[in-house]
């Protein structure tokens, strides 16, 4: 068979695999058994075209890597989070397009300065957004191109206004929770009762819950740091039910195809059975499997956007006087602890803040900087 025919089969196989996968995913009554059968049916096609794939990979290794591939490789070596990688790649592409698809190696500080000026003046982005773009370009020139920018000169900086976080009273939070049910209710309870970020809640596994000491271990949180925080007693029965459900789902997957959960970094190679052990199961798994970057069928955690939608609808149903979000529940956790007289350093540790200055913003919300001063009108 000639090369053209084999390429045709390869493209057809990829198309068929994607089509069947989408059909399976959109079928409301799909089971893990059907998914396993689909994988078995596609396996001969994958094995047939595998030599061609290897040949194409060898050709690609002989060429120098593209710029964005170098950026991603550098970020992964330094253990940057996938979200940071996606954001940095976006700003680097934006920078290249802004300067007419010129290669960054042929540009320098003047072009970076002009780009940042454009963001602040023409696009009127927030200060945090402009700083994000600057950090992406500094990383590109320092770690990928090995051409440190140095002093890029003066440019218009977006002003960073001082904003106070939106917080809710305990009564308001309970009204919001009353409009949630099932896993969404439990996740919102943990964000308020433990001070968890949304993504930290989504990434909780069975092994992270310590019922005996009533502690939750947050792993690889913001800044890739671990910490422990409070486990509210009111959520223990619901968490125990979730673990029971996770155990039953794992047993079902083991009987029909053995779909593992996603694991951090290369842990699946070090511990091949970790993905199908109870300790590593997600407390809040996605409703259906997916493909990981290596093409393996895995089970990921629930997508944060699903939780955001549920909490947004609950806050709207609760008729709150101020709009809020998932992060509002975390803000409310901090203010409630400070109101109870908890030491600010303890609150800092529970929230996982790098600096106590970040935690002190909640004292402004409570008005504790007024040192007992009262209005003339009482």
* Tens digit of each residue's pLDDT (9 = 90 or more) over 186-202: 999 999 999 999 999 99
Does the annotation mark 66 as catalytic?
A: no
pLDDT in the model for residue 256? 83
Structure tokens at 37: 């059968």
Dihedral over Cα of 91, 92, 93, 99: its sign: positive
Question: Which of 75-89, 152-166, 314-328 has the lowest average pLDDT?
Answer: 152-166
Q: Taking residues 47-68, what's their average pLDDT?
A: 60
* Range in 17-31, 66-80, 225-239, 291-305 with the lowest mean pLDDT: 17-31
Q: What is the mean pLDDT of the chain?
A: 84
Q: What is the pLDDT of residues 148-187, one digit of tens each?
A: 887 776 666 766 777 788 999 999 999 999 999 999 999 9
- C-alpha distance from residue 330 to each of 96, 200, 225, 307, 378 (Å): 38, 11, 18, 14, 31
Answer yes or no: 362 catalytic: yes
What is the pLDDT at residue 2? 47
- Write down the pLDDT at residue 49: 52
Active site residue 241: no
The DSSP line for 246-286 is HHHHHHHHHHTT-PPBP-STTHHHHSTTGGGSGGGSBSSB-
Candidates 203, 253, 331, 353; catalytic one: 353
3-state secondary structure of 202: helix
Is 327 part of the annotated catalytic residue set?
yes
Confidence of residue 33 (pLDDT cuts 50, 70, 90): low
pLDDT at position 323, please? 81
pLDDT band at 298 (very low <50, low <70, confident <90, very high): very high
Q: Which of 222, 288, 296, 368 is catalytic?
A: 222
pLDDT average, residue stretch 311-333: 93
What b/e string do you get for 77-99 counting C-beta neighbours within 10 Å, with b at 16 or more?
eeebeeebeebbbebbeebbeee
Residue 250 has pLDDT above 90, yes or no: yes
**Residue tagged active-site, from 219, 296, 327, 368:** 327
| pLDDT tens digits along 204-236 | 999 999 999 999 999 988 888 999 999 999 999
Which tokens in the block code for residue 217? 């271990």
**Structure tokens given for 371:** 């040192």
Strand order in the sheet with 227-230: 209-210, 215-218, 227-230
222-254 as b/e: b if 16+ CB within 10 A: eeeeebbbbbeeebeebbeebbeebeebbeebe
Three-state DSSP class for residue 287: coil
296 is catalytic: no
**Does 141 participate in catalysis according to the annotation?**
no
Contact between 246 and 283 (Cβ < 8 Å)? yes
Closest CA to 308 of 296, 293, 326: 326
**pTM (2 d.p.):** 0.73
3-state helix, strand, coil in the chain (%, to 5): 60, 5, 35
Task: Find how far residue 347's CA is from the centre of its chain.
Answer: 23
pLDDT of residue 56: 52
Q: Which of 197, 205, 301, 331 is catalytic?
A: 197
């Amino acid at each position: 068979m000639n090369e053209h025919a084999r390429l045709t089969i390869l493209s057809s196989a990829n198309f068929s695999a994607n089509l069947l996968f989408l059909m399976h995913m959109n079928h409301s009554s799909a089971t893990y058994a059907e998914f396993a059968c689909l994988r078995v049916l596609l396996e001969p096609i994958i094995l047939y075209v595998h030599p061609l794939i290897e040949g194409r990979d060898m050709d690609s290794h002989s060429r120098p890597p593209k710029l964005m591939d170098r950026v991603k490789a550098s970020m992964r070596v330094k253990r940057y989070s996938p979200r940071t990688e996606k954001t940095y790649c976006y700003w680097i592409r934006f920078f290249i397009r802004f300067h007419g698809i010129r290669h960054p190696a042929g540009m320098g500080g003047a072009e970076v300065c002009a780009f940042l000026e454009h963001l602040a003046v023409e696009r009127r982005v927030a200060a945090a957004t402009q700083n994000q773009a600057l950090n992406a370009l500094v990383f590109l020139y320092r770690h990928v191109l090995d051409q440190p920018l140095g002093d890029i000169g003066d440019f218009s900086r977006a002003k960073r206004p001082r904003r106070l976080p939106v917080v809710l009273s305990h009564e308001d939070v309970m009204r919001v929770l009353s409009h949630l049910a099932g896993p969404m209710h439990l996740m919102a309870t943990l964000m308020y009762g433990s001070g968890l970020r949304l993504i930290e809640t989504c990434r909780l596994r069975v092994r992270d819950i310590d019922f005996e000491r009533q502690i939750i271990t947050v792993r690889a949180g913001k800044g890739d740091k671990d910490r422990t925080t409070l486990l509210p007693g009111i959520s223990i029965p619901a968490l125990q039910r979730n673990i029971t459900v996770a155990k039953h789902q794992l047993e079902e997957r083991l009987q029909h195809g053995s779909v593992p959960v996603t694991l951090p970094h290369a842990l699946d190679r070090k511990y091949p059975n970790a993905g199908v052990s109870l300790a590593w199961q997600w407390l809040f798994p996605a409703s259906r499997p997916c493909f990981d970057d290596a093409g393996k069928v895995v089970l990921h955690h629930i997508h944060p956007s699903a939780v955001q939608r549920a909490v947004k609808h609950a806050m709207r149903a609760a008729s709150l006087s101020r709009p809020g979000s998932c992060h509002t529940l975390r803000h409310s956790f901090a203010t409630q602890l400070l109101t109870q007289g908890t030491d600010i350093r303890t609150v800092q540790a529970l929230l996982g803040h790098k600096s106590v200055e970040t935690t002190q913003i909640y004292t402004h919300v409570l008005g504790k900087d007024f040192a007992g001063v009262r209005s003339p009108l009482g």
